[in-house]
Structure 1
Amino acid sequence: MAWLDTPCTAFEGGHCIASGALKDVAPRAKAVVDLAASSTAPLPVLVFSDASSETIELDWRGTPEVFSARLAQLAAALDAVAEPDTNTSDGWADAVPADAEAPRGPGRPKLGVVAREVTLLPRHWEWLAGQPGGASVALRKLVEVARRDSVATDRVRRCSAAGYKFMATMAGHEPAFEEASRALFAGDRVGFEARIAGWPADVQNHLKKILADAFQS
């Protein structure tokens, strides 16, 4: 995904300016920044990644045209780092672990496996050695089972972490913040929504959106 397509939301204080792709949200946030420049007490304008609630740092200086040009240059640089040219020898796709091209035994498929050190107790190695296919096959099967079983838990954890990060930035000073945080990590949707009921409406709505998967039903 291109950097300018990052789903994000911009706030001026507790008011939501816009939500959508960064390429659409950033110009609208810039207009608010410019309008507030003449204010004696301008509210902070922050842009949050919807996935992680990390703030996206933008340089608001200059005219809208200058801002847009700078944004495009930054996007091009970030996209180039994230997606290097795979058609040249310098591309990351050509970087192969030293052991990846080592000679393989008869009938051994090229699975794209990567050798890493694993430290286990002797009884673990003994058990693995007795499994069909040996230690490597058994370990891969165990990892796949663990990954499958933890999908929902991992999603809840990531979602809760993003929600808390947004809360800490935007509502750390709000009443019942600590109680709301405890309800969030306890998976108490009803208690959480009751404790944030007095917060700015846009902050509440954004929290409910990004925390859609945080509470187990």
Structure 2
Amino acid sequence: MPARPVYAFAGDLLLAHGPLGEALPVVHAAARGGLGVLVFDAATGKVIDLDLRGTADEALARLAPLSGNKPEGEPEKRGPGRPKLGVTPREVTLLPRHWDWLSSQPGGASVALRKLVEAALRETEGPTQARRARDATYAFMTAVAGDRPGYEEATRMLFAGDWTAFDAAIEAWPADIRQAVTEMAESSWRNGKGR
């Protein structure tokens, strides 16, 4: 069952928040009841297009491709590299002095490159997560509150990291939208400048 976290809204009302597989029955029932429902990916802030035809169980069964799981019985595709380790070869262009340095490292070029990439990933993890959270919050805010009073100020404060002014700018928004925006931005606050 897809664990992708979502926010499902009907207008200003939050219908469901949590894993997509758990939210889908609520979304399906609301759509069948004639409500216009928008489902947002919590990680990106973008609308997810769902196929809600048939029963809730049928719609749920169609979610397997969204979760990244391959359908049963489909053979695993194999290509070059070490597929059991998830390794696929790619071409890297470096100067001769770079190759000389890499080959002199313990374990050779591959080990040295992996260590360098892992160190860079660890170093930029917080700022990268903060940027992604900010971008997701911005995408979500634009979709649900782009025409609301305080939107432009909230956007400026989101990117400036002024959380007091951000809270003030969204204060007049409906409670469910305000709550979702704040929750989405919290990762930015945790990994960025703090709140």
Q: TM-score range by the shorter chain?
A: 0.7 to 0.9
- Are 2:20 and 1:46 equivalent residues in the alignment? no
Q: How many residues align?
A: 191
Q: Deviation of residue 11 (structure 1)?
A: 0.7
- Are 2:63 and 1:75 equivalent residues in the alignment? yes
Asked if the contact 2:51/2:62 (under 8 Å) is kept, the reply is: no
Per the alignment, residue 107 of structure 1 pairs with none
**1:33-82 deviation line (CA, Å, top 9, x unaligned):** 344x3xxxx6x321122222232323455xxxx33143133135x27962
- SS for the counterpart of 2:38 is strand
Per the alignment, residue 91 of structure 1 pairs with 76
Per the alignment, residue 131 of structure 2 pairs with 157
Per the alignment, residue 202 of structure 1 pairs with 176
Asked if the contact 1:84/1:91 (under 8 Å) is kept, the reply is: no
Alpha carbons of 1:79 and 1:48: their partners in 2 closer, same or farther (altered >3 Å)? closer
The CA distance in 2 between the partners of 1:175 and 1:189, in whole Å, is 17
The CA distance in 2 between the partners of 1:203 and 1:188, in whole Å, is 19
1:136 to 89, 106, 110: 110
Normalized against structure 2, the TM-score is what?
0.79
Asked if the contact 2:8/2:39 (under 8 Å) is kept, the reply is: yes
The CA distance in 1 between the partners of 2:160 and 2:96, in whole Å, is 38
The CA distance in 1 between the partners of 2:30 and 2:67, in whole Å, is 30
Alpha carbons of 1:89 and 1:45: their partners in 2 closer, same or farther (altered >3 Å)? closer
Deviates more, 1:119-128 or 1:154-163: 119-128
Larger radius of gyration: 1
Uncovered stretches (5+) of structure 2, i.e. residues with no partner: none
Alpha carbons of 1:137 and 1:24: their partners in 2 closer, same or farther (altered >3 Å)? closer
AA aligned opposite 1:73: A
AA aligned opposite 1:207: V
Per the alignment, residue 49 of structure 2 pairs with 57
Asked if the contact 2:4/2:67 (under 8 Å) is kept, the reply is: no
2:20 to 19, 22, 33: 22
The CA distance in 2 between the partners of 1:163 and 1:130, in whole Å, is 45
Identity of aligned pairs, percent?
A: 41
Uncovered stretches (5+) of structure 1, i.e. residues with no partner: 102-109
Per the alignment, residue 171 of structure 1 pairs with 145
Normalized against structure 1, the TM-score is what?
0.72
Q: Deviation of residue 192 (structure 1)?
A: 1.7
Aligned CA RMSD, in angstroms, stands at 3.0
